[in-house]
Structure 1
Amino acid sequence: MKGFLKQKEVGIGKNGKKFGSEYWSEIYGSGLDVDGSYNAKQHADYLKSLFQLMEIPVYKIADFGFGKGILLREMVKTFSPVKVYAVDASKEAYEELKKKDWVKRSDKFHIYHESLETLVLPKLEKEPVELGICNSVIQYLPDSQIPEVLEKMAKYCNYLYFTVPTNEDYAVMKKEMSFVDPYAFSRTKKKYRKWIERDFEIVGYNLLQSKWLGEKGFKEDFFRI
């Protein structure tokens, strides 16, 4: 296993706090009711089937904000990539992932403790991965950083498995579960769509296709939004 850690300030939430143990216990909890965690296998199986249908091979994966690593693990099990790049702004998440047996017993993992705002991976600039993952992450970034981060991910991966809660989603979570995330920015769907459309096309449920790279596995114009 290859690891890398820079001694400098990394990402913080809207409330000015780092994503430490308090965040994981209060916001994430056990993860049993978090989309992409309790149903991580279903997400991976869905994406695998879609890529098989479109005849898109996946040899390398990058996870931009791996968190507990639950979805990443299922994606790795399902796609069996030869290389995996994983980054998270949380030191706790970084240290925990390094301890996982499924990570320690393989040399395919390249793990980084870094914020998406400051992340630079020259290797991916030269050789983008087929599949990127960014599951419920960019709501924690300030407006000023999002365009640059999205462009970066669009240059690092051909396809991005992507989710982000909008203000409408947060309203439902507050009403139905009394859930409020003080670390996150609440934004409209229109705002996120405007940012995304410069660098990506929406080609499926949770799936974006880069506008920067040459690969166009999803060619049908009608379904490229």
Structure 2
Amino acid sequence: MYASEESWREVDAYFADTLVAEDAALAEARASGARTTLPRGEVSPVQGGLLSLLCRTAGATRVLEFGTLAGYSTIWMARAVGEGGRVTTLELTEQNAAIARANLERAGVADRVEILLGPAAGTAQRLIEAGTEPYDFVFIDADKPSNPVYLRAALALTRPGSLIVIDNVVRNGAVTDPDTTDDRVRGVRQALADIAANPDLEATALQTVGVKGWDGFTLIRRRA
């Protein structure tokens, strides 16, 4: 029986080598994550492939991302929406945005990506107030205590049928602790409670193991 973290990483590498076409631009973007404010915070190659497939399956041409970092997941989604598509990604720091811009240029998708700088909650609120055209797909992968705020913004910026994905919802199993004092876990739990209480949403969650350890995604579809 294979249950070690080393085995998880080996399986992830096998799936990535066998199924996921990570080219030089993606590999360099992933490596450049070490220079961001959250080293190794980007999704794995296999997870990037999942985001791409979800975007394509949803027929997404407009994507909103909370949390840019080095732009690794941004590249996956920008390629998925195609030349006529658009990705808006929200990033707090210029340090990360500068790294992401270089990676987007290298990947050939800079013309379809807009990086908006500043606290994501405020930026999202300005998009709402501006009456921004609804997004087809939203990826939430920023500071976890703000997940409930980002979810509310995502609901205001999408339409029936849109898909929302929240990353890092397992937290090494800590998500099951109702008495947690970890604000990151509390943010995840509140967002999940808000999803469960909203009859206009349908959702599920997937646990993942691999190079990113033990974590997972929540996938949400708007019914109305």
- 1:98 maps to 2:101: yes
Instruction: Give the distance between the partners of 1:129 and 1:26, measured in 2 at CA.
Output: 27
**CA apart distance, 1:165:** 3.3
Match of 1:42? Answer: 49
User: Which of 113, 120, 125 is the matching residue for 1:109?
Assistant: 113
Match of 2:192? Answer: 193
Counterpart AA for 2:144: Q
Label 1:208 to 1:105 Cα distance change in 2 as closer, same or farther (>3 A).
Answer: closer
Instruction: Give the distance between the partners of 2:130 and 2:204, measured in 1 at CA.
Output: 22
Instruction: Give the distance between the partners of 2:90 and 2:128, measured in 1 at CA.
Output: 14
Structure 2: runs of 5 or more not aligned? 1-32, 176-181, 207-217
Structure 1: runs of 5 or more not aligned? 1-22, 172-182, 215-225
Label 1:154 to 1:83 Cα distance change in 2 as closer, same or farther (>3 A).
Answer: same
Label 1:91 to 1:160 Cα distance change in 2 as closer, same or farther (>3 A).
Answer: same
Between stretches 78-87 and 98-107, larger displacement belongs to: 98-107
Conservation of the 8 A alpha-carbon contact between 1:97 and 1:103: no
- 1:139 maps to 2:144: yes
Instruction: Give the distance between the partners of 2:192 and 2:185, measured in 1 at CA.
Output: 14
Counterpart AA for 2:222: S
Aligned residues: 166
**CA apart distance, 1:131:** 0.9
Conservation of the 8 A alpha-carbon contact between 1:203 and 1:209: no
Q: Which has the higher helix share?
A: 2
RMSD: 3.5
User: Which of 166, 169, 173 is the matching residue for 1:169?
Assistant: 173
Give the percent of matched residue pairs that are identical in Structure 1 and Structure 2.
11
Q: SS at the partner of 2:185?
A: coil
**CA apart distance, 1:187:** 2.8
Superposed CA offset, 1:196-217 (max 9, x none): 3355431575421235xx4xxx
Q: Which has the higher strand share?
A: 2
TM-score normalised by the chain length of structure 1: 0.58
User: Which of 78, 87, 104 is the matching residue for 2:80?
Assistant: 78
Match of 2:24? Answer: none
Between stretches 66-75 and 102-111, larger displacement belongs to: 102-111
Conservation of the 8 A alpha-carbon contact between 1:103 and 1:109: no
Label 1:194 to 1:160 Cα distance change in 2 as closer, same or farther (>3 A).
Answer: same
Conservation of the 8 A alpha-carbon contact between 1:98 and 1:104: no
Label 1:121 to 1:41 Cα distance change in 2 as closer, same or farther (>3 A).
Answer: same
Instruction: Give the distance between the partners of 2:114 and 2:174, measured in 1 at CA.
Output: 33
Superposed CA offset, 1:28-66 (max 9, x none): 43x3xx6723324432354256x2xxxx42111111112
Determine which structure has greater relative contact order: mean sequence separation of CA pairs < 8 Å that are 6+ residues apart, divided by chain length.
Answer: 1
